Amino acid sequence: MTTAGPMPRSRPPGRIRRLLGTDLPYQLLTLVVVAALWEGYARTHDSILLPTFTETAAATVELLGEGELWRAVWLSNQALVLGFLTAVALGVPAGLLLGRFGTIERFTDVYLSILLVTPMAGIIPLLVMSVGFGLTSRVILVALFSVVMALTNARAGIRQIDPSLIEMSRTFGASEAQIWRRVLIPGALPAIMTGVRLALGRAVTGMVVVELLMVSVGYGGLILTYRSRFDAPALYAVVVIVLSEAVLLISAAGWVERRAAPWAPSHNSPRSTA
């Protein structure tokens, strides 16, 4: 009786297959479709308020070579970085404490609900009257925009931990500090990092809103300037640059999230293949 030989090893996927296994080709295809629809719609309607995709792309390239844009980038990102870091530094510890200690949450839950439903644009006059038009007010508003995401996700991360793990740790004599270090922080870290990523997106929104409604500097100043000139290609170019920065920042935050919490289910689940 003949015995079958060893099964041949499967060849590793080629570059094309590996590329198709990522999201990049589909994102590029979506971009091409959107650009084609944008170009066709703008050419058929022929409006001075709606530039074509090619005009916007040319204006974006031209704007990237001007010092006016980079001064705006510097001014806007000052408030973005400081406000975002403030939101994370305050929101994550507060969320962890609220999730761990129910007594604290009883005193603060109503204020968190108010913060969730308050329209942030309505706070701008209060900030102007209290701290003026400077960097401080912009930082505060950016922090208010983003702190809720960091806080609520950190609180949810603590709540989703199995209480039996905490009880088991206490049974084996673990102190409160050891429970935080060995159980609570690792268990809540995926939710914390998700909250940080979402808070970053909200911080970008707050950065633009405060510059449009309170003080005309940075990106908001450029948008208002080009709008007053009816320079539609430059106006759309600024919006494209803001969106590009937001996508890059959120992608970087997602990369950090995957490295910080590789055990999260969403990071370990394989892609479905046909």
Is 2 a domain residue?
no
Distance of CA 112 to the CA centre of its chain: 21
Is the separation of the CB atoms in 232 and 38 below 8 Å?
no
Tokens encoding 188: 């809540």
- Buried residues in 187-207 as b, exposed as e (16+ CB within 10 A): bbbbbbbbbbbbbbbbbbebb
Tokens encoding 202: 């909200």
pLDDT computed for residue 82 by the predictor: 95
Is 36 a domain residue?
no
- Residues whose CB falls within 8 Å of the CB of residue 44, separated by 6 or more in sequence, listed in order: none
pLDDT computed for residue 21 by the predictor: 60
Is 24 a domain residue?
no
What region, left, alpha or beta, does residue 196 occupy, with left being phi > 0 and alpha being psi -120 to 50 degrees? Answer: alpha
Is 269 a domain residue?
no
Taking each helix axis from N to C end, the angle separating 232-260 and 185-213, rounded to the nearest 10 degrees, works out to 170
In this structure, what CATH number is given to the domain that contains residue 117? 1.10.3720.10
What does the alpha-carbon distance between residue 254 and residue 195 come to, in Å, rounded to a whole number? 11
pLDDT computed for residue 83 by the predictor: 93
What residue has token string 């305050």?
A: 90
What does the alpha-carbon distance between residue 95 and residue 92 come to, in Å, rounded to a whole number? 5
How many domains in the chain? 1
Is 130 a domain residue?
yes
pLDDT computed for residue 239 by the predictor: 92
Residue 124: how many other CB atoms lie within 10 Å: 18
| Through-space distance between the first and last CA atoms of the chain, rounded to whole angstroms | 37
Domain region containing 97: 52-262
Is 226 a domain residue?
yes
Is 217 a domain residue?
yes
What does the alpha-carbon distance between residue 182 and residue 163 come to, in Å, rounded to a whole number? 14
What residue has token string 């009257």?
A: 129
Q: Which residues in the chain show pLDDT less than 50?
A: 1, 12, 267-274
pLDDT computed for residue 271 by the predictor: 42
Is 179 a domain residue?
yes
